Chains A and B, each alone.
Chain A
């Protein structure tokens, strides 16, 4: 499409040329990680904050990300309550000098389902403190609106559980969120194949966040490229406009007989 050059994603005043966001977890090593992220063309990458071991080797993942001009989106992973998440957000602002935060609160370790009540509570506080809050949520259209109303810069509904690679199990609800949202919708979690990412973009998602599917691939760099192409393809298809779905056949050739 002619207008693809102008099709930028804007979040809280920051412009992104790529609609594929990537996580930094689960890669076999730092070199593979950075090569995969570069191949993805991602301009926004997530990371976590943890206590660091003063007796052990530290692995500075930030230097190559900053050197490649990637915007950092620290998360609040590990938080089980709003209070935990608020503390984690303040720590990341102090450590990394960014007020962007991926708010995620999941008390359940098996399914890592985000806690909607704690998430809304934390979002309210963090937005009031000037954070750019991108909350990870279940595909709950009501919660998405509530988070938008308290000032979140985007919403990040899940496709399926984190790391499950099960794709858009929440598709029907994602469609409602996308239809109703006045802030960017970033489909996060569970995207296990480029086709899942393409589908999300065809549905009108503003971006997708992918981590596990790239990191655990035997060839993360090639998989990154595949995701980048899928996201771009899905976005072009969305902008071009998909054909209507029909229950019955609609002929693409004249149905008149040869001899009529």
Chain B
């Protein structure tokens, strides 16, 4: 990620804007900030960044950029 004085942000699920460090920030860094009681990030999730799926093996190495769009998907009831 390019070092700038401006704040960098990523957008989660087209809804939440999260500020990220201007140092290299990975997907795992962002997920850890979300990983609380209301949002238990288990293994049954899929993540796409800018509409490209990032496999679980790459979560810890996938660097985020300013205005990346992160979508997190999980199973819900359905027929």
Contacts and interface: CB of A to CB of B under 8 A. Distances in A.
Contact of B48 (A56, A91, A163, A209): A91
A46 interface: yes
A61 to B, nearest CB: 5
A94 B55 contact: yes
B38 A95 contact: no
A72 B77 CA distance: 11
B76 to A, nearest CB: 5
Contacts of B53: 87, 90-91, 94
Task: Report the interface size class on chain A.
Answer: 35 or more
Interface in B8-40: 12-16, 34, 38-40
Contact of B77 (A57, A61, A92): A61
3 closest Cβ contacts across the A-B interface? A48-B78, A23-B79, A211-B79
Contacts of A75: 78-79
Contacts of B46: 49, 91-92, 94-95
Interface of B: 12-16, 34, 38-40, 42-48, 51, 53, 55-56, 71-79
Nearest to B42: A60
Contacts of A53: 13, 15
Nearest to B47: A94
Contacts of A59: 76-77
Given A52-B74, A55-B38, A61-B75, 13 more contacts: A23-B77, A46-B79, A48-B77, A50-B74, A51-B73, A52-B45, A58-B38, A61-B76, A62-B75, A72-B75, A91-B48, A91-B53, A209-B79
A212 B78 CA distance: 10
B44 A96 contact: yes
A91 B16 CA distance: 21
A95 B13 contact: no
A63 B71 CA distance: 22
Contacts of A77: 78-79
A27 B74 contact: no
A186 interface: no
Nearest to B77: A24
